[in-house]
Structure formats: C-alpha cells, structure tokens
Copies of this chain bind each other. A is one copy, B any other.
Amino acid sequence: MNQQSSNAQASVILTGDRPTGPLHLGHFVGSLRNRVTYQDQYRQYIMLADAQALTDNMDDIGKVHRNVVEVALDYLAVGIDPAKSTILIQSQIPELAELTFYYLNLVTVSRLERNPTVKQEIVLRGFERDIPAGFLVYPASQAADITAFKASIVPVGEDQIPMIEQCNEIVRRFNRDAGRDILVECKAIVPEVGRLPGIDGKAKMSKSLGNTINLGASADEIRAAVKQVYTDPLHLKVSDPGHIEGNVAFTYLDAFDTDKAALAEMKAHYQRGGLGDSVVKKRLEGILQELIGPIRERREELAKDKGEVLRILKEGTFKAREVAAQTMDEVRKALGLSYF
C-alpha cells in the first residue's frame, strides 16, 4: 500500500473506454490490469464513453447502447470492484456535455486542428474534409470528462499525450479568466507495457482489424486464435534458428508468462534452433487459457443478471454525477452564470 492509499485525500484518476465492442487482451494489458491495481491506490473513475463513441458511430445507433453493458461485464470480470472504483456512463451525466460547451470558448479552431492526436485520428478514420464537428472538438469533451472529477492522473497511450496537454491549456485559461484555481491540471501516465500487437502481427490488437483475443473468448476460440498467432516466417524447420523480435507468440509470453526464467530458457532454445513453434504455442495457449478461463467464467456468471450490472452502473453514475454537478456549479458561478 503506497502513500496515496493511506491519504484520505487520495489522488483522483480518470480512465475509461469507448463502448463499441467487447474488450480484449490488448485492453487487459494496456489498461484493465492496471486499473485493478489503481483502485487500491487512487480514487478511480472509470467512464463508459458512450457519448464520445457516438461521434463516429451515428450511422449505427444501438451499437453503443448494446456495448455499454458488455464492457461493464468485462470490467467486473477482470476484478474492477465497484466498491473501490466508480464506474459511470458518460451520457447520463449531462454536466459533461455542459462543461464541453463552455470549454469550446477557451480553445481556438486552429489549435484543435493542430492537435496531433486529432490529426492522426482524422486520417485513421478517413474523415479528411468531412470531419464531424463533434470529432474536431473532442479534446474539449475529454477536458470536460477529466476536469469534472478534478482528476489529476490520466492513464493514456503515448499517442494521447497531446490531448492531456490541451486539457491543461483549457484548465489554465479557465482559471486565469476566473481569477482563481477552480479546475485542476492533470498528469498523463503512460503504462509500462505498451500496445499489444494483434495475433496477425499488426502493431495493434483491434476489433476492426479482426486480430483480437477477447476477454470472453471460449476455450476453443483461444485455441484457434493461438494457432493463428504470427511467429517467425523464416523459421521453417524445427532445427532452424528462430527469431524472437516481431514474433507475436513471444511478445504475448513476455506479457503474460510469470515464469520469466523458463521463458528466457525457451527463447534461447528457439533462437539457437531445435524448438518448434508448436511447443511455444502450446505454452502460450496454456497460459492464456489459465488467464482468460476464470475471467470468462466470472463474466458468464455476471451476465446472468444484467439487472444487477445496470444497478452497479446506475449507482456509480449517480455518485459521479454529484461530483460533476459540483464542479459544474463552480464553473457556472465563475462564469457569472448564476442568478437564482
């Protein structure tokens, strides 16, 4: 237990996901696993960013709704404890939209267009000139989410750091205009273990690329996925020396195998030749079955009572809304928009 947890005024951390599909091993490594640790150290808010997910899913209304409970099941199944973490649904806290509305006055169009994350995402999503305004302004929306809860820590991927910088610019501009420190600046923390590659060897495990292993995967699905895992295409015969770099089987073992000595031994053997992919994959499959099996079982158990999941989400959202409403109230007063 570190200093924060012994402190009544624990630091606030905000994290979350766009509920557009089931979560997978990439989420587990990049964030979920850390959240289970963070919830003992910080006051943790985990946001189901359904409103933000809509910015580029307006053509499939219903998809976001369906996935809110699914992602919540993933959270609970991996060990996020609603008694320690506050899980909230973004759209059910209107103050987040309201804060966004006011923050839009604190940021210029050209500044948003210069945001590297926004620029990159515009290319990724193929928007080009047809960028929905809601997408361009999402740094302001993200600033609203962070500041509503006065979060001082935000875990993000390397590529999201410019979003945090822009959030802090909004915070400083607001506090300067208001003449006092109402909003709190935040710090990005980038997880040590970076992005998990897809089973096909592509840099990112992603639902849209179809190269994931989901947290709800069945034993057969795990087996089939491991069979497809990209290894060393030059490693044709068992006796050939094999490569570790770019070999997804070993990348996954690095991420999940807790017996580091045995893994080092296996890597050396593979590199000098005489170790077949099937042996490596067998070890990997065993580890993934052991990791995902209990998650899947808890998930199936929890899924039997979706009413209970909704109750948890309602309670978390209600609790979070009280905090956001308090911030909104301070912001409204600072803007001179308080009358009655």
A binding-site residues for B, Cβ under 8 Å: 50-51, 54-55, 58-59, 61-65, 68, 89, 91-92, 94-95, 97-98, 100-102, 104-110, 112, 129-137, 140-141, 177-178, 310, 313-314, 317, 328, 332, 334-340
User: Nearest Cβ in chain B — how far from A90, in angstroms?
Assistant: 9
Q: Tell me, in angstroms, the Cα distance from A130 to B114 when the chains sit together.
A: 12
Please give the distance in Å from A273's CB to the nearest CB on chain B.
55
User: Contacts A61-B178, A134-B101 hold; do A337 and B109 have CB atoms under 8 A apart?
Assistant: no
- Chain B minimum-CB-distance residue to A107: B133
Knowing A105-B55, A336-B64, the reply to whether A133 touches B129 (Cβ < 8 A) is no
* Separation of A131 and B106 alpha carbons in the complex (Å): 10
Name the B residues within 8 Å of A129 (CB-CB): 108-110
Q: Cβ of A61 and Cβ of B140 under 8 Å apart?
A: no
Q: How far is the CA of A313 from the CA of B338 in the complex (A)?
A: 12
In the assembly, what is the distance between CA of A135 and CA of B110, in Å?
12
This chain: how many copies in the complex? 2
Verify A336–B61 contact, CB threshold 8 A: yes
Given A61-B178, A104-B137, A132-B104, A337 and B50 contact (CB-CB distance below 8 Å) = yes
A143 CB to nearest chain B CB (Å): 11
CB-nearest residue of chain B relative to A139?
A: B133
The reply to whether A94 and B92 form a contact with Cβ atoms under 8 Å apart is: no
Contact call A59/B177, Cβ cutoff below 8 A? yes
Select from chain B the residue with minimum beta-carbon distance to A311.
Answer: B340
Residues on B with C-beta less than 8 A from A314 are 339-340
Q: In the assembly, what is the distance between CA of A50 and CA of B336, in Å?
A: 10
Question: A138: shortest Cβ distance to chain B, in Å?
Answer: 9
